[in-house]
Structure 1
Amino acid sequence: MSTPPLASGPEGPEGPEGPEGPDALRPLLDTVLGALREGARARGGPLPAGGPDAVAARVRAAVGDVLPDKGDPDALRLLVRALAEGAADPAHPRCAAHLHCPPLAVATAADLAVGVLNPSLDSWDQAPAASALERLVTRALAREAGAADALVTTGGTESNQLALLLAREAHGGSVRLVCGTNAHHSLPRAAWLLGLPEPVLVPAPAGTLDPAALDEALTTLPGPLLVAATAGTTDAGLIDPLPDIAARCAAHGARLHIDAAYGGGLLFSDRYRHRLAGLDAADTVTLDLHKLGWQPIAAGLLAVTHPGDLTALDQRADYLNADDDTEAGLPDLLGRSLRTSRRPDVLKIAVTLKTLGRTGLGALVDQVCAHADAFAALVHDHPGFELYDRPTISTVLFRPAASTDDAVAAVRRKLLTDGRAVLGRARPDGRLWLKATLLNPHTRPDDLAALLQLVEGNTPR
């Protein structure tokens, strides 16, 4: 049996077209692209029809024996087609449940280069150019958030956990988290993982953290304290009153973390950037470009105002960052992450920033925010629906008027099972609302109207 060609390698005796070069990918890429098209046609909508059991059965049929005695040369086509047929397509205008963006083609192409070259950012000699690129890009994005440096993470959850870890170490090994009841679930979970005291939850009666209640908590609680505010809640896309929160943290000597995993993308927009006023007062900021940055997962960052905080992550492993190598000028990468082996997710980010520029990215942000405003207007003007509130970013909460919570849940599940629309759910006021998170810049007004008509036509009476 011949050895399968490698995606990358030295030029073989036949030159760059040899079986060990990147050109080994060319026929495979054609196979993948064809299988993606076939799968999307078979799916026929934003989600596969039939629900979990039907999807699982189709996958089992496509896979067959997971580890056969003899390999199947058609496996790539079969499995990519099965994955595409059974996928939730974030590029479809009726796929609007989560903070799950359709990735830019240029970013996806850059991700392919990462897969081919396979650098690992745990030592400089495994990723010389990637480590230099990461340093340039992270510092540039940190400046956008009013910070000094940034670490690349897998997303908001890892960034929030890192923020709590840095706060704990900055305060000598212990800190107490204070956050709103609207905070992302990863924050209290990070406190648990890090062995911190039980978090103090501050009321968020209007969906945003109440500054007066926060002030009362900071007055009565013993320090050290870490306040976590949110710029873009998962349920409704709301932004806490950041300047007021920052002022109260400063008055009480509390450290401030801002989870801007969703809302951080507003930094690219001249029209909406002002909604993040106060962001630069934070000690740490979570950013996440696989939301309002249109990156393939994963593309998270943690921006840090005080670079000295990062010394808490310093580690020594002689085979990766020996002291004499570091003294000789080889960059030490172990203190840039909690992970060891780590792919350079920064390439796709760098390519996107360079290709689109601030104006191009800002235009995408403006477009999805405009889509949310337009969808909210449709809901508001329709007598058969109730609108929760005007959108702050690109999330719209709505529900069929006079419907019970059971009816709202039923229409969502019916659309999911039929594969016709993907909508989320939220309970911001105790009632169940449908959630449309609009992250596709190419959505058209007709798509929005069709989505609303679909919900109306499938609501139990």
Structure 2
Amino acid sequence: MELNMNFAQWFLHASDKSENMYHTLMNQAVGLVADQTMRANQPFSGASRQEIEAAVKEMITIPAAGQKVDAVMEEIQNVIVRNSLWISHPSAMAHLHCPPLLPSIAAEVIINALNQSMDSWDQSPAATYVEAELIKLFTEHIGYSQEADGAFTSGGTQSNYMGVLLARNKACQTNFAVRVQEEGLPAEARKLRILCSEHAHFTVQKSAAQLGLGTNAVIKVATNDKNQFCVEDAKAKIEQLRQQGLLPFMVVATAGTTDFGSIDSLSDIAELAAKEQLWFHIDAAYGGALLFSHQYSGLIRDLHLADSITIDFHKLYYQTISCGAFFVKHKQDFQQISYYADYLNPEEDQEDGIINLVEKSVQTTKRFDALKLLMTFKLMGSDLFGEMVDYTINLAKETAKLLKNEACFEVLNEPELNAVLFRYLPSDHREDQSYVDEINLELQRSFYQSGELIMAKTKQAGKVYLKFTMLNPLNTIGNMKTHIEQMKRAGEKIEKEQGEVRYEYSVHY
């Protein structure tokens, strides 16, 4: 049967039509992004939710016949790209959402074209070894022995899930002589308990819920004045749990909390875990980049004490989404989730020395994300990468100082990583918490709607705070001085407007 050339131009293969279409689409995509980069003088267009929704609804069609490339790309640029959050802009500082490095963006083109499925070696021959060797390099940087291992994941949620999964299965085998893979959860599993700080990531509870333990299995431990896990409170809670006939089996430390960026005392928690025979997991999704820091690597020097570790590369490693990893101190712990299928990863492959990555993952089909990290370090080097990380942390510390110097701002944390929590304090009625909260909520809303400054809002002790997550190394202290002045003026304006509303209300009522 002859090759249908109507099909042929849409696939990568050896033909002029394929090559021409590939270049056309790639050039258009590159031009579109480059154009947006030059146009983006602020991180968001300022379009309303209603405007964006209406524009998207109008463009979403499935035509019977394909449209012209120029027309489609123009529509995507006008409707989608221009109304997206431009995360590469230095004034986009809301979440742990990084500006991607150019080597990572370039690697995505190769990853997508190769379309490797990272479950079995025969589907990803070179890619399998790239991931395996990068995992090995990272285990060495962490300080693990040769008995360690790991796997690339979609990010912190999946990695934390895997930590809870392995710990749960091992606890059931150790305490109840039950292999959960084969027999399911025993009735006694309802006694299992996990300890983590009150500032730990919500995925600890989410994982417990999905793994049949329930959110009630997660016990929140108090934090100290540095927003770190309090070991003394954990000791008291463990004793109380055991008196109730419950079984603590896991403790989760955080190296970089979402709001504060605080890093728990890893050595103290490791000592507690060893004494109480608990699985010790460290969620270093955020702070794992300190492995390459020149100034702050000491903050995670005890990472190697953990039984398992989460690191996200699409946070402070500046990789495109998605890209993360999960590490274990003892590679045999992956046997808690291994499964063999004759058509994919038969057991005899192990005897032949064949690596099938599906055996240490909760995913089957998995992207070749390791290439992004490889290209980044090969092109940039670890020294420059470490300088970038240090720069953003130092910038956050300097920004916190600027805010503290202003009487109208209250800073809640001394930045340990690059997150700054603060709030605007009005000149009057500071004792009225709902009034102060509403002013801060309006500050966040108004700047997002203008599109010029993207910051997050959160709550601590029931109070509304604003947050800068300062990941972008292209940000400057001059830029932050400008933003602080803008916030002061905007806060004063909102105060005046709120004061007029309060006066109107008191007059009428």
Q: Do residues 200 (structure 1) and 187 (structure 2) align?
A: no
Who is 1:210 aligned against? 230
Q: Do residues 186 (structure 1) and 181 (structure 2) align?
A: no
Whole-angstrom CA distance in 1 between matches of 2:485 and 2:11: 47
Who is 1:136 aligned against? 133
Q: Do residues 8 (structure 1) and 12 (structure 2) align?
A: yes
Q: Cα offset for 1:108?
A: 0.8
Who is 2:458 aligned against? 426
Who is 1:69 aligned against? 64
SS at match of 2:463: coil
| TM-score (normalizing by structure 1) | 0.93
- Written as runs of structure 1 = structure 2, the 5 A alignment for 1:56-455 is 56-61=53-58, 63=59, 65-73=60-68, 74-147=71-144, 148-171=148-171, 172=173, 173=180, 174=189, 175-196=192-213, 198-206=217-225, 207-222=227-242, 223-402=247-426, 404-455=436-487
CA 81–33 in structure 1, closer or farther in 2 if over 3 Å, else same: farther
After the TM superposition, which of the residue ranges 118-127 and 394-403 deviates more from structure 2?
Answer: 394-403
Whole-angstrom CA distance in 2 between matches of 1:81 and 1:294: 26
SS at match of 2:309: strand
Q: Cα offset for 1:326?
A: 4.3
* Aligned residue pair count: 452
Whole-angstrom CA distance in 2 between matches of 1:205 and 1:427: 17
Whole-angstrom CA distance in 1 between matches of 2:251 and 2:350: 36
After the TM superposition, which of the residue ranges 348-357 and 154-163 deviates more from structure 2?
Answer: 348-357
Contact 1:262 1:291 in 2 (8 A): yes
Contact 2:280 2:306 in 1 (8 A): yes
Contact 1:7 1:116 in 2 (8 A): no
After the TM superposition, which of the residue ranges 221-230 and 372-381 deviates more from structure 2?
Answer: 221-230
Residue by residue over 1:16-36, the C-alpha shift from the partner in whole angstroms, topping out at 9 and shown as x without a partner, is: xx3335x64222222112223
Contact 2:28 2:73 in 1 (8 A): yes
Whole-angstrom CA distance in 2 between matches of 1:309 and 1:427: 38
After the TM superposition, which of the residue ranges 158-167 and 188-197 deviates more from structure 2?
Answer: 188-197
SS at match of 1:427: strand
CA 93–27 in structure 1, closer or farther in 2 if over 3 Å, else same: same
CA 382–133 in structure 1, closer or farther in 2 if over 3 Å, else same: same
| TM-score (normalizing by structure 2) | 0.85
**Unaligned 5+ runs, structure 1:** 13-17
Whole-angstrom CA distance in 1 between matches of 2:126 and 2:163: 27
SS at match of 1:20: helix
SS at match of 2:344: helix
Whole-angstrom CA distance in 1 between matches of 2:165 and 2:414: 36
Whole-angstrom CA distance in 2 between matches of 1:145 and 1:48: 41
Residue by residue over 1:10-59, the C-alpha shift from the partner in whole angstroms, topping out at 9 and shown as x without a partner, is: x33xxxxx3335x6422222211222344456665211213311222233
Q: Cα offset for 1:257?
A: 0.6
Residue by residue over 1:283-330, the C-alpha shift from the partner in whole angstroms, topping out at 9 and shown as x without a partner, is: 011100111100001111111101110011211222211344443443
Whole-angstrom CA distance in 2 between matches of 1:37 and 1:359: 28
Whole-angstrom CA distance in 2 between matches of 1:290 and 1:29: 24
Who is 2:177 aligned against? none
Residue by residue over 1:425-455, the C-alpha shift from the partner in whole angstroms, topping out at 9 and shown as x without a partner, is: 2223332111000011011222111221222
Whole-angstrom CA distance in 1 between matches of 2:349 and 2:278: 39
Identity across the alignment (%):
31
Residue by residue over 1:131-156, the C-alpha shift from the partner in whole angstroms, topping out at 9 and shown as x without a partner, is: 01010001111222233211111111
Contact 1:43 1:49 in 2 (8 A): no
Instruction: Give the partner amino acid of 1:243.
Output: S
Instruction: Give the partner amino acid of 1:57.
Output: A
Contact 1:219 1:252 in 2 (8 A): no
Whole-angstrom CA distance in 2 between matches of 1:7 and 1:80: 24
Q: Cα offset for 1:417?
A: 1.4
Whole-angstrom CA distance in 1 between matches of 2:284 and 2:150: 14
Contact 1:40 1:84 in 2 (8 A): no
Instruction: Give the partner amino acid of 1:436.
Output: F
Contact 2:194 2:248 in 1 (8 A): no
Contact 1:235 1:428 in 2 (8 A): no
Whole-angstrom CA distance in 2 between matches of 1:452 and 1:371: 14
